[in-house]
Every structure is written in C-alpha cells, then in structure tokens.
C-alpha cells in the first residue's frame, strides 16, 4: 500500500467559501493509504509548497493528491514541487475542486460532498500511477509564419533578427496584406505604404527570411519543435529568377477583364499582374482563369514581349516539404459580405461603398487615382454619409456580435481627410457609440468633430434609397433629438464588419488549433497567454486572434515572435510521457487504432512474441511516442484492450470510477 498525502487548498475564499475544506481533510484521512492530510489557504504559494515538501520527507510519501484548481493552472507547479523533493512528478494527482466544484455550486453541503468524491477518485488513481519519465525531442530551429501582412512581416522580422530562420507563406502574389491597401493610417495620418514598404523590403532582404508568395500551406504534421509542413507553391507561369519586373507584360496583356482584387473589384487588371507597384516580390503571376494563352493556346503576347524570357506557360503547382519548430498564424481578415443587408442598397448602387473601397478610392494608386468621385458618374460627391457598425455589434444572425474595433477610428480618419481636401463636401457620420480608446485616439476623433466640422449623429440608418436622379436618400434617426432624419447624399460609406480570413478554418484544422464561434483563433489564456494557441508550438499574430488596429497588431506580432524565439532557443523539449502503448500479448494487429489516430503515431511491425511459452511472429501496433499526443482515441477503440494510455491506464480510470461510485 502506497503512502499518500492529501493537500486541500482554500484558494483564499474561492474554494473555502463553498467547500468545507476541514471536512475534506478529515475524510481524506480515512482513505486507504492516506497517511497525511492538511489544508492551507494557498497551496500554490511558496509556503504551501514548503508544507508539501516537509510532508513528503516526514511521511516518506509515495504519492500526493492536491485538491485545488484545474490542473491546467497548477499541475506543473505541484509536479515540480514533488520532483524537487525526490518524488516522481507523475505520482502527483490534482483533484479539481475549484472549476469543477466550488465555482459551479452554491450549496456548501453538496459542494463538500462532491469535493470529497473528487478527492477519493484522485487517491484511488494515484495508488496506480506509474513513475513516468519524460523523454526529450530535438527542436527544429526554423519558424513558419502563415500570412504575409503586417502581422506576419513583423513577427518574421523579429524572429529573424534574433538569428533564427523564418519562412513566410503568403497566398497572394505579394506580401503586404490589408495594410498595403490602406491610404493613410490613424491617428497620425502617415501614408500606409510609406511605413509598410520599408518593412516589406526589410523582410525580403533579410538573410534569415524566405518568402513564399502565391503559396498555401497544404498539410501539417508533427508536434511542437518538429512540425513537417507541405507548402503548395502555385504555378506562377513566370520564372522568379529571370523576371526583371519591368512590367511590359502587364501593359501588353490583351486580357483586361478580371476584377482587380487589390482595388476591391472597383476596376480591372490584366491576366498577368502584380497586385500593386511596390509588390514584393516584384514578379507578376498569370491568372490562369483569365489568361488567353492558357485557356485557348493562342496569344502568347507576354512571352513575345518579355526580354528576359521569364514567361513559362508549362509551370505546374509544386509541393515543397519543410521542417519547422514553431508555426505562427497571421492570416488576417476580410470584410463581411453585405448580401444580408439589403436596406443599404450596396448591391443596387455603385455609390454605396465599403470603407475599404473608399480607402482604394482615396489612394493615389487606386481606381480613381486618388480623386474622390462617385463610381456611377465620376462626379465629386458634395454630401457623404458614413454608416457605422454595419454588421458589427449585431444581435441577429445577419452580422457579427462583436465590435470590429477599427471602424470608429478609420471613419474619423476618412471624414477628416475628406473635409481637409474637399472643404465644400459635407460629411455626416451615423454611429451607435464612438469608441476611441487608444493613445491619441479620442483627441483624433475630437479633431474631426471640432476642427473639421464633421457632423456626427447618434443613431442608425434604416434604409438607403437610390433615387431616380442618382442621389441616395438616407433614412436615419437622431436619437439625441429624437427625430427621424432624411438626408440626401451623393455617396454612402459603410463601415463594414471585419471577420477572420475565410481560409483560417482550413488552417486551424490542419494545425489542430482551436477557433471560436466567430472563426477567430482561440488564445491559450485570454489574459495571460494571448499570443499562444492552446496547441503547443502554434502562435497567433494579428487579427486572426481578434479585431485589432495596426499598432496593436505590431505589438502582438512582436510578442508572438518572442514566444517563438523562446521556443527555438531550446535545444531539446521535454515530451509528455503520457502516451499510448500496446500490450504485445493482447494486440492482434487489427489496425483499428491506427485508423482512429489523428496524429499518425501508430504503425505496425512484425515481432516475435513469447505467449505463455509459445513463440510466434505477430503483427503488433507500435506507438511513436514523439508523435502521440495522449488523446486516448486508440485505447477506447482497441477491441482486445491491448492499447493503454500511460498515466491514464484503463485500470486507473476504472479505479477512479469505482471510487466515485463507492
């Protein structure tokens, strides 16, 4: 019989206010093998750990149970404490009497009863715990960043500066992301391209950074420190090494119909194109759907004009396989589709646009060369209405429940820029609330109101009605004056909600990284681990984790880089010894475990076994403990009960169940 110690934590009043901790101690002492039990206000504190250490020594404890918070919180703390005092860390069990008990119950008698049961189950289990030894795995000192916007670029530069190799995978033909589409940035109004382009150049020129544009992550396997990633390099039909970026191909290309994605579809581009002048790499791609040569075999004009001989219509997609120690997701965002918002007439009128479209219109490289004009007739708008929260803070299923966070500020920016450049144009902003927390943000908004005379109206818009004369009648409400407003406008700009890039679901699935109901990637802890995914070795950068502006994105990108550097700085990682193992005498090699293993950790080998004196060759399941994540899917699938999870063996689980049912 093992000598067991039980330690019951009060967690201040978190546990002790709902659970009678003295009673738990009293009943623990009646459990088989329990030779020591005590309670303490904060078991995780230095003083609490000293008490555990002393108890281990005095009573020669062979296993301990800590009744406290979730093992996610302090299992590591108590395991380390045990290890320092000569007890194998896997002989520590946590009974979660906080999250699973005191926090969710109100009645003290009931909560105490449950806490006692949880304690008993843990004691029953720890009697059967094996002293496991953590293995080691090497760390591949190279990071992958998925997404080449400002978040991905910043993360890559920071990792690369620390001396580690980084690859950026970007699905578009150029890095730059959303920020490259912006005209000016709040709250300083500096030109977006002017501050982004140097970063793009820095990333491209960095000796430690490799950029794969026009590429997508196809498959991810492995685990923290040892990821294997397949990257699809889509056929560019242009030889990256030969192309000089002269641009003659784009000028001469006769296929000019495809919508220009970079300009949000407001104008068209050629079939061979770079998305914008400062693109990195400055090598065009051929849009295979629009290219005449690729579709009909005729044309070939770009090839004729290319002095460098860089055009290659025979290129095929290529899959490259790389090894990484860490992966950063920086997949960014898009604006939501407005199909469900018929009242704003976005599909009916060319003069109802999204804010990102306005950003392109205001940009000197945009479809109107930076002139503010109506897309319907090219006239300068004299009356512009901005509508805030289109699809944000939405209580029905048309939009998103969250605040998109950036819209108040960029709308103030647009309003201010328009009033500055076109003083005879009136600007009205309909808002629910103006949210401007951030350094110099509220000052910025007030400048728009006080210095630039932007007309802010608290209230929402129910309808934008295109009129026969081409104007737009805006039906709104002024909640402060409690009256309906009818405003004739020449242009309406919708502050459209942002959502995670639609590709993020696919990527999260490949990485087994969790996402929330809005498709934002979930962080390991909302406050204390905001740039780490719960999946070890996966980190989050930028809007893929939640709405944020550029300063916040850059800050988070740096934080993610630090976490990656911390990981890559280690030569070895301790592996979790709680992995599956097959009993060779029971295994009949049926393959069912391999079929359910999500990590591809199970293979088979033919081995000679000695079954009660009979020697024979049998096909036996073998678990690669480096790949096994200890999920237990194989153990419940195995028809002959051969598969067992170390640390959570069938015997241990049954012992817990027996203790609960006692």
Partner 1 sequence: MKYSYFPGCTLRNKAKDLDDYARACAEKLGFSLEELTDWQCCGGVYPLGADEIASKLPSVRALNAAKKKGQDLVAVCSACYHVLKRVNDDMANVADIQTRANNYMQLDTPYTGETKVLHYLEVLWDVVGFDKLKEAVVNPLTGRKVGAYYGCLLLRPSSVMAFDDPENPTILEDFIRALGAEPVMYPYRNECCGGYISIKEQEKAAGLCKKITDSAEGFQADCLVTACPLCKYNLSKNSNLPIVYFTELLAEALGIKEAQE
Provide φ and ψ at 352, rounded to 5°: -100, 115
Q: Is 505 in the site for partner 1 (CB under 8 A)?
A: no
What is the DSSP code string of 536-589? TTEEE-GGGSS---HHHHHHHHHHHHHHHHHHHT-SEEEPP---EEE-TTT---
Q: Any contact of residue 474 with partner 1 (CB under 8 A)?
A: no
Does 247 engage in binding with partner 1 (CB under 8 A)? Answer: no
Please state the closest distance from residue 357 (CB atom) to partner 1, in A.
20
Please report, for residues 6, 47, 222, 321, 637, the alpha-carbon distance to residue 212 in angstroms, rounded to integers and kept in the order given.
55, 53, 21, 12, 41
Q: Is 342 in the site for partner 1 (CB under 8 A)?
A: yes
Joined tokens for residue 602: 């199970």
Is residue 378 close enough to count as binding partner 1 by CB under 8 A? no
Distances (CA, A) of 65 to 14, 89, 120, 390: 19, 11, 9, 53
Q: Does 467 bind partner 1 (CB under 8 A)?
A: yes
Nearest approach, Cβ of 591 to partner 1 (angstroms)?
A: 49
Q: How far is the CB of 195 from partner 1 (least distance, A)?
A: 40
Question: Roughly what angle, to the nearest 10 degrees, separates helices 71-84 and 46-59?
Answer: 50
Binding of partner 1 at residue 108 (CB under 8 A)?
no
Does 483 interact with partner 1 (rule: CB under 8 A)?
A: no
Edge to edge, what strands does the sheet with 461-466 contain?
Answer: 461-466, 472-478, 483-489
Residues 436 to 465 in contact with partner 1, rule: CB under 8 A: 463-465
CA-to-CA distance for 280 and 565, rounded, in angstroms? 25
Alpha-carbon gap, residue 159 to 84, rounded angstroms:
34
Cα–Cα distance measured from residue 180 to residue 189, given in angstroms and rounded to the nearest whole number: 15
Residue 73 touching partner 1 (CB under 8 A): no
Query: How far apart are alpha carbons 553 and 544 in whole angstroms?
Result: 10
Binding to partner 1 by residue 534, rule CB under 8 A?
no
Residue nearer to partner 1 on the CB measure, 235 or 352: 352
Q: CB of 351: closest distance to partner 1 in angstroms?
A: 13
CA distance 424 to 79: 70
Residue selected from 35, 224, 473, 609 as contacting partner 1 according to rule CB under 8 A: 473
Q: Does 484 bind partner 1 (CB under 8 A)?
A: no
Q: Which of 41, 247, 370, 466 binds partner 1 (CB under 8 A)?
A: 466
Per CB under 8 A, the segment of 63-71, 340-348, 406-414, 535-543 that binds partner 1 is 340-348
When asked if residue 214 is in the footprint of partner 1 (CB under 8 A), the reply is no
Q: How many residues bind partner 1 (CB under 8 A)?
A: 15
Q: Does 395 bind partner 1 (CB under 8 A)?
A: no
Handedness of CA 230, 235, 238, 244 (dihedral sign): negative
Rg (CA), the chain: 31
Question: By C-beta, is 309 or 342 nearer to partner 1?
Answer: 342
* 300-329 positions binding partner 1, by CB under 8 A: none
Q: Does 647 bind partner 1 (CB under 8 A)?
A: no
Closer CB to partner 1, 193 or 474, in the complex:
474
Q: From CA 217, how far away is CA 331, in angstroms rounded? A: 11
Q: Is 476 a binder of partner 1 (CB under 8 A)?
A: no
Binding site for partner 1 (CB under 8 A): 340-343, 345, 347-348, 463-469, 473
């Amino acid at each position: 019989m093992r000598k067991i110690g039980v330690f019951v934590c009060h967690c201040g009043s978190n546990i002790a206010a709902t659970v009678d901790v003295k009673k738990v101690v009293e009943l623990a002492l009646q459990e088989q093998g329990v030779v020591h039990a005590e309670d303490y206000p904060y078991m995780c504190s230095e003083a609490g750990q000293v008490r555990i250490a002393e108890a281990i020594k005095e009573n020669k404890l062979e296993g301990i149970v800590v009744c406290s918070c979730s093992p996610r919180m302090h299992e590591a703390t108590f395991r380390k404490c045990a290890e320092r005092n000569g007890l194998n860390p896997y002989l520590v069990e946590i009974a979660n009497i906080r999250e699973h008990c005191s926090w969710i119950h109100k009645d003290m008698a009931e909560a105490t009863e449950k806490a006692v049961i949880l304690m008993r189950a843990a004691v029953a289990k720890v009697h059967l715990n094996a002293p496991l030894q953590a293995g080691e795995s090497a760390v591949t000192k190279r990071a992958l960043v998925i997404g080449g916007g400002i978040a991905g670029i910043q993360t890559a530069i920071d990792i690369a500066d620390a001396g580690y190799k980084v690859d950026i995978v970007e699905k578009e033909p150029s890095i730059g992301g959303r920020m490259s589409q912006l005209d000016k940035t709040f709250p300083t109004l500096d030109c977006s391209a002017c501050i982004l382009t140097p970063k793009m150049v820095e990333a491209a020129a960095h000796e430690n950074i490799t950029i794969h544009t026009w590429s997508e992550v196809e498959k991810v396997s492995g685990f923290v420190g040892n990821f294997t990633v397949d990257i699809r390099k889509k056929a560019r039909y242009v030889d990256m090494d030969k192309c000089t970026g002269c641009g003659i191909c784009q000028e001469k290309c006769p296929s000019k119909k495809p919508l220009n994605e970079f300009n949000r579809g407001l104008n068209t581009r050629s079939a061979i194109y770079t998305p914008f002048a400062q693109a990195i790499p400055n090598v065009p791609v051929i849009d295979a759907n629009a290219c005449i040569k690729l579709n009909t075999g005729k044309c070939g004009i770009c090839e004729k004009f290319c002095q460098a001989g860089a055009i290659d219509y025979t290129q095929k997609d290529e899959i490259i396989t790389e090894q990484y120690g860490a992966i950063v997701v920086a997949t960014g965002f898009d604006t939501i589709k407005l199909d469900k918002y018929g009242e704003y007439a976005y599909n009916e009128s060319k003069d109802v646009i999204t804010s990102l479209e306005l950003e392109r219109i205001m940009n000197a490289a945009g479809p109107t060369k930076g002139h503010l004009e109506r897309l319907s007739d090219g006239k300068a708008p004299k009356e512009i209405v901005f509508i805030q929260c289109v699809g944000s803070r939405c209580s029905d299923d048309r939009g998103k429940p969250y605040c998109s966070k950036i819209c108040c500020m960029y709308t103030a920016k647009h309003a201010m820029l328009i009033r500055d450049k076109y003083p005879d144009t009136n600007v009205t902003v309909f808002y629910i609330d103006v949210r401007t927390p951030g350094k110099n943000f509220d000052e910025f908004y007030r400048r728009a109101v006080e210095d630039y005379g932007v007309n802010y109206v608290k209230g929402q818009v129910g309808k934008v009605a295109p009129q026969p004369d081409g104007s737009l009648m805006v039906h709104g409400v002024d909640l402060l004056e409690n009256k309906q407003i009818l405003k004739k406008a020449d242009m309406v700009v919708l502050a459209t909600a942002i959502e995670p890039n639609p590709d993020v679901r696919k990527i999260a699935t490949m990485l087994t990284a969790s996402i929330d109901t809005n498709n934002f990637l979930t962080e390991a802890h909302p406050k204390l681990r905001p740039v780490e995914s719960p999946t070890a070795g996966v980190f989050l950068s930028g809007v893929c984790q939640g709405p944020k502006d550029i300063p916040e994105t850059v800050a988070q990108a740096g934080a993610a880089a630090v976490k990656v550097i911390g990981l890559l700085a280690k030569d070895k990682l301790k592996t979790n010894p709680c992995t599956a193992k097959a009993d060779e005498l029971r295994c009949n090699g049926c393959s069912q475990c391999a079929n359910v293993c999500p990590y591809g950790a199970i293979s088979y080998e033919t081995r000679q076994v000695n079954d009660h004196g009979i020697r024979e060759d049998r096909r036996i399941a073998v678990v690669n403990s480096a790949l096994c994540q200890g999920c237990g899917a194989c153990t419940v699938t195995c028809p002959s009960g051969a598969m067992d999870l170390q640390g959570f063996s069938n015997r241990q689980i049954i012992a817990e169940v027996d203790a609960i049912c006692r």
